[in-house]
Amino acid sequence: MAHESDSAEAAPPHFHLRRRIDADMDALAELWAASWREAMPAIDFAARKAWLRGHLPALEAAGAVTVCGLDEDGRLLGFATVNPQNGYLDQIAVAPEAKSSGAASALLAEARRISLHPLYLDVNQDNPRALRFYAREGFETVEAGVNPRSGLKTWRLRQA
């Protein structure tokens, strides 16, 4: 499920993007858990890191691409996973210390660039920061849903 909270500012200085490599997985899982822990502290995302470690490779085997955003020292600041064949943005997360830096907007721009279709995603209804981010980025709500893993209410958003 896509999740983000960031501003529409320009990317951080010396921010660069590249595709995920196997050596990224531990840092990616840590960043993902930290980002979600900040957004939804009632859920133990550290316990879900094993799920992510299996989920991303499965998505990629089905055609998705995971793009990592790194600083000038090669430190992971965020990532996004999108399926270019259908435009589904499954994951987008930014390290807590990189929020409001423009990292999320840069990752989203890259997901848009590589997708052959307008993006769509599911976001938790009770994640106001992410909802504000997607609204600023031009997404519109198209339907309500429920996350099958958490049981939380979601919105399906589509790039306008």
Q: What is the mean pLDDT of residues 62-71?
A: 97
Q: How far apart are the first and last CA of the chain?
A: 19
Out of 2-11, 72-81, 110-119, 125-134, least confident range: 2-11
Q: What's the whole-model pTM score?
A: 0.90
| Residue 49 C-alpha from the chain's centroid | 15
Q: Is there a contact between 87 and 119 (Cβ–Cβ < 8 Å)?
A: yes
Name the more confident of 109 and 149: 109
User: Rounded CA gap, 44 and 36, in Å?
Assistant: 9
Site of tokens 């423009």: 102
- Give residue 112's pLDDT: 97
pLDDT grade, residue 39 (50/70/90)?
confident
Q: Which residues, in sequence order, are bridge partners of residue 68?
A: 18, 79
Name which of 76, 86, 145, 62 is nearest 107 in CA terms: 76
Annotate the chain with three-state secondary structure.
CCCCCCCCCCCCCCCEEEECCHHHHHHHHHHHHHHHHHHCCCCCCHHHHHHHHHHHHHHHHCCCEEEEEECCCCCEEEEEEEECCCCEEEEEEECHHHCCCCHHHHHHHHHHHHCCCCCEEEEECCCHHHHHHHHHCCEEEEEEEECCCCCCEEEEEEEC
Could you give all domains of the chain from N- to C-terminal order, each with its CATH number? 16-117 (3.40.630.30)
